[in-house]
Amino acid sequence: MTTIKIGNSELELGGAYVTEMRDSSGVLHDTNELHRRMEEEGYLLLRGFHDRRKVLEARMQILRRLEEQNNLDLTFPIEDGVISLDNGNASYRKHTAELTSLLEIVNGEPIMKFFDRFLGGKAMTLDFKWTRAVGAGEFTGAHYDAVFMSRGTKNLYTVWTPIGDISYQIGGLCVCPGSQRWEKVVQTYGQMDLDRDNIDNGWFSSDLLEVVDKYGGKWATTEYRAGDVLIFGMYMMHGSLTNQTNQYRLSVDTRYQLAAEPVDERWVGNNPIGHTAPRSLPPTSMAEARKRWGV
């Protein structure tokens, strides 16, 4: 029995809440089938999409940054990315421009060519890269990406790239297939703009189980290998498993769209402005907003 952790709950893979993700790498060259699966299931897991050695090179570049920032416990090999005392999430975002190996992966030919084909035209990627080092006991709550980056085209895709091998214990991403069709949620929460609406941190819920209790379906997840990518659209409810180890979970999420379509200006340019919410007023809680929306 494989046990995984969501929030504080230990769950069985194949049980009521969690199922194994489907691997679509076998249909990588069949664009119609990729579209069909994206439409139906809402995500594409493509194993071995990137050259594993390049991803591991990017991992070392990041780990050296974390070492310089004193985030690592150096009584263990640097490769293991063991977290130093303070345990929290670590940030290396301000160093993104120096992470050349990482940028080669997320801006490189394989992924850009994939999107040229998938989108049926010249693709572009948003310049901002959401780099992550998720600490012990940490996880990401359930959300749609639309809330954070939908001022341009809605035909925008997230690519989540594990930077290293990610076991169930380290805790990678999970998605909720079918959540792209939760019409009422899409029409209310899904229309929210974090910077305009000032509602909490944008997470629909920090309790992933509550979400499927209410709307049905299951969370789908897997163990990832360096080289894999997971792709989904703006209205796919997703979050992550809890990191149960003393090692950082390294990953990056990046966005792709047709170059000819409108762009969310917050996330492009040499120094993207990012979230702009004037937080002079206290934020409305998501619980309150959900009550108002009836979701």
The neighbour count for residue 111, using CB atoms within 10 Å, is 22
Q: Would you count residue 168 as binding ligand AKG (CB under 6 A)? A: no
Q: Would you count residue 240 as binding ligand AKG (CB under 6 A)? A: yes
Q: Would you count residue 160 as binding ligand AKG (CB under 6 A)? A: yes
Which CB sits closer to ligand AKG, 140 or 247? 140
Query: Of 24, 71, 131, 158, which one interacts with ligand AKG (CB under 6 A)?
Result: 158
Nearest to 174 by CA among 140, 134, 220: 220
CB of 134 to ligand AKG, least distance (A): 6
Q: Which ranges of the chain does DSSP label H, i.e. alpha helix? A: 31-40, 52-68, 100-106, 109-119, 146-149, 183-187, 194-197, 208-215, 286-293
CB of 87 to ligand AKG, least distance (A): 16
Instruction: Report the distance separating Cα 147 and Cα 202, nearest Å.
Output: 7
CB of 32 to ligand AKG, least distance (A): 26
Query: Of 253, 258, 264, 267, which one interacts with ligand AKG (CB under 6 A)?
Result: 253
Binding positions for ligand AKG, 112-151, rule CB under 6 A: 132, 134, 140, 145
CB of 286 to ligand AKG, least distance (A): 16
Which CB sits closer to ligand AKG, 148 or 182? 148
Joined tokens for residue 182: 């939760």
Binding positions for ligand AKG, 169-198, rule CB under 6 A: 173
Task: Name the one residue in this structure whose structure tokens are 């907003």.
Answer: 289
Q: Where does this chain bind ligand AKG (CB under 6 A)?
A: 132, 134, 140, 145, 158, 160, 173, 238, 240, 251, 253
